[in-house]
Amino acid sequence: MAKKAPNPIDKHVGSRVRMRRMMMSMSQEKLGDALGLTFQQVQKYEKGTNRIGASRLQQISHILQVPVSFFFEGAPHVAGHPSGMGEAPSPAYVSDFLATSDGLALTKAFMRIKNSKLRRRIVDLVEQIAGED
């Protein structure tokens, strides 16, 4: 039997859980303990393999100190169902990048740079290195 692919919304919500957990330097095991689950179940949530129920998502939002809506920011739109939010979704590659340890470390370090002109110069440098589109 063919394996069913995870729903794009479930994958997105799971990646946002992962991103926020990593932002808080929390392990999957610690989040699992707070939820009364195994770290393997947290892994399945983060990959979108298992869908997160409404009450569980509320519990996760409390533990990770964000509103439930945080997990849906930038979520892909389902065809024929307008979001009603009035905002364009952020590109998926941004949340995918922020969900990695490198992306999170780079973002945290970058945000600690107080000089806005220096931050702009760093962005210019990285764009030159990467070769702008």
Q: What is the pLDDT along the chain (133 residues), one digit of tens a residue?
A: 667 788 889 999 999 999 999 888 899 999 999 999 999 999 999 999 999 999 999 999 999 999 999 898 887 775 544 444 445 545 666 777 777 888 888 888 888 999 989 989 988 898 888 886 5
Q: Of 86, 91, 60, 57, which is closest to residue 74 (Cα–Cα)? A: 91
Per-residue pLDDT at 107? 86
Per-residue pLDDT at 93? 67
Per-residue pLDDT at 75? 79
CB 112: neighbour CB atoms within 10 A? 7
Per-residue pLDDT at 21? 92
Q: What is the pTM of this model?
A: 0.65
Q: What is the dihedral of CA 21, 26, 32, 35, to 10 degrees?
A: -70
Euclidean distance between CA atoms 109 and 130, whole angstroms: 19
Per-residue pLDDT at 73? 85
Torsion over CA: 61, 66, 69, 70 (sign): negative
Do the beta carbons of residue 9 and residue 89 sit within 8 Å?
no
Which domains, ranges and CATH numbers included, belong to the chain? 1-76+90-99 (1.10.260.40), 108-133 (no CATH)
State which amino acid sits at residue 64: L
Per-residue pLDDT at 2? 64
Per-residue pLDDT at 84? 46
Per-residue pLDDT at 45? 95
